[in-house]
Amino acid sequence: MFDGLQEILYTLRQNKLRTLLTAFGVFWGIFMLILLLGFGRGMQNGVMDDFGSDVLDFIIVWGGDTSVAYRGMGLARHIQLGQADIEAIKNQIPGVRIISGESSTSNGKVTFEGKNSNAGIHGIPDEYFKIKEDVPFNFGRKPNQLDVDEIRKVVVIGTVVAERLFEPGVDPVGQEVGVKDVVMTVTGVFYDKGNRGGNSEQVFMPLSTYRKLYGSGERIDMIWLRPESGVDGFELEKNVLELVKRRHSVAPDDNRGIRSFNMAMPAKRVNGLFTGITVFIWFVGLGTLTAGIVGISNIMIITVKERTREIGIRKALGATPFSIVSTLLLESALVTSVAGYMGLVFGVGLLELIAFGLRSAGAKLPYFMNPEVDFQVAITAILLLIVVGILAGLMPAVRAAKITPIEAMRAE
């Protein structure tokens, strides 16, 4: 084995330029494939980051104005949802994992020691932040059931509101702020990056407190829900809309009386888009790799032709076809694996350098962040390259093994 490796290295040194050009073709192919996959993942990370801090399977239902006359009732009838709709969905629609109402008022003023900030004011039950479970709380805690049951005058505020009210380094938790002139205690600060961070310009209080302060009664402005694992979110959305429309005498074909948004729809579209992009990237990358593999096949054909006399002499001295084939295939695998590994290292290194530069500079490019390559994908690409490289050298190697000593000695 060691003698065979020495022989291969000697042969490669005798043809340095040819070996270098062939290895560069393989290096460039894997290098470009890694870069393309990394930039594709960077685009996907950027687009998914633009979705905000929300999970990707929630559904929102809210009332609008009817656009179809139905059961003797005219157009432009405003539909107001209520707590009874939530109870009906719980009792009549299977497959709902979590459901929460949300009541809101127009933007109100939040004040603290002479500073103020406008913010959306919302009343929510305990379940709300179980649906928005990916929203991080930088300080304090989320609202809980005790806050609702005891009608506590507490709020959680977004980071945008906190930055306007409090000096840097001040912990807002435990501070008393005025929310529409009502003194409330801050129990948490959250950061919702949705809407380019605009969703952090909000204040949430227990739903029971909201109803007591603003007299909203059982009114609900939005219903949030998530399906159970394995439940089709689109089918669940359809069933919920049918139930709510029936309860409020809205025509089944009226898309304005009761409205909805299913986060699974844009997520599905984006995932489909990036599946197509990934397929295209692999197509282009494998095409580049193919050029390198063709180069390996060509160099093996030339090698066999140049070494025909040598192969004939070796066969005459008793060399088996297997030893000849294995030597030539090892030469092909060596060039492919070394060049491919170097392409992988340089590709991953460049991606890491770009990601480090973006993080260090604090740059936020639109729809692009954290370019990276999945480790398993990279290893798979290398193994695929080595296998294909061996196959590229297989035909010339088999051809060499079939040469008889007499034919070899006659070769020019």
Same domain for 284 and 402?
A: yes
Contact yes or no for 137/156 (Cβ under 8 A): yes
The single-letter DSSP state of residue 50 is T
How many structural domains comprise the chain?
A: 2
Residue 289, Cβ density class (10 Å: 0-12 exposed, 13-18 middle, ≥19 buried): buried
pLDDT at 156: 96
Task: Return averaged pLDDT per consecutive 10 residues of the chain, 412 residues in all.
Answer: 55 66 79 84 73 74 91 87 94 94 89 91 92 88 92 94 91 93 94 79 94 89 92 93 94 92 83 81 75 70 65 66 67 78 87 83 70 77 74 68 62 51
Same domain for 140 and 240?
A: yes
The C-alpha torsion from 170 through 173 and 174 to 175, rounded to 10°, is 50
Residue type, 58: F
d(CA 164, CA 172): 11
- pLDDT above 70 covers a percentage of the chain that reads 78
Query: CA distances (Å), 70 to each of 76, 81, 240, 265, 322, in order?
Result: 11, 18, 19, 29, 84
Same domain for 76 and 214?
A: yes
Same domain for 34 and 119?
A: no
CB contact burial 357-373 (16+ within 10 A = b; e otherwise): ebeeeeeeeeebbbbbb
Task: Give the end of a domain, one of 234, 262, 290.
Answer: 262
Same domain for 101 and 230?
A: yes
pLDDT at 321: 62
d(CA 173, CA 151): 19
Contact yes or no for 317/293 (Cβ under 8 A): no
Same domain for 213 and 353?
A: no
pLDDT digits (tens, 9 = 90+) for 151-197: 999 999 999 999 999 998 889 999 999 998 899 999 999 998 777 67
Same domain for 216 and 360?
A: no
Residue 100: domain span: 59-262
Contact yes or no for 158/199 (Cβ under 8 A): yes
Contact yes or no for 114/160 (Cβ under 8 A): no
Same domain for 244 and 346?
A: no
Same domain for 66 and 209?
A: yes
pLDDT at 157: 95
Same domain for 216 and 350?
A: no
Query: CA distances (Å), 97 to each of 41, 100, 225, 228, in order?
Result: 31, 10, 7, 4
pLDDT digits (tens, 9 = 90+) for 345-368: 898 888 888 888 877 776 666 667
Same domain for 83 and 212?
A: yes
d(CA 246, CA 308): 85
Query: CA distances (Å), 168 to each of 171, 189, 267, in order?
Result: 9, 14, 36
pLDDT at 303: 65
d(CA 102, CA 81): 10
Task: Give the end of a domain, one of 262, 281, 312.
Answer: 262
Same domain for 350 and 288?
A: yes
- What are the φ/ψ torsions at residue 98 (nearest 5 degrees)? -140, 140
Nearest Cα neighbor of 137 from 100, 188, 101, 205 is 188
Nearest Cα neighbor of 394 from 324, 320, 312, 342 is 324
Task: Give the end of a domain, one of 236, 262, 288.
Answer: 262
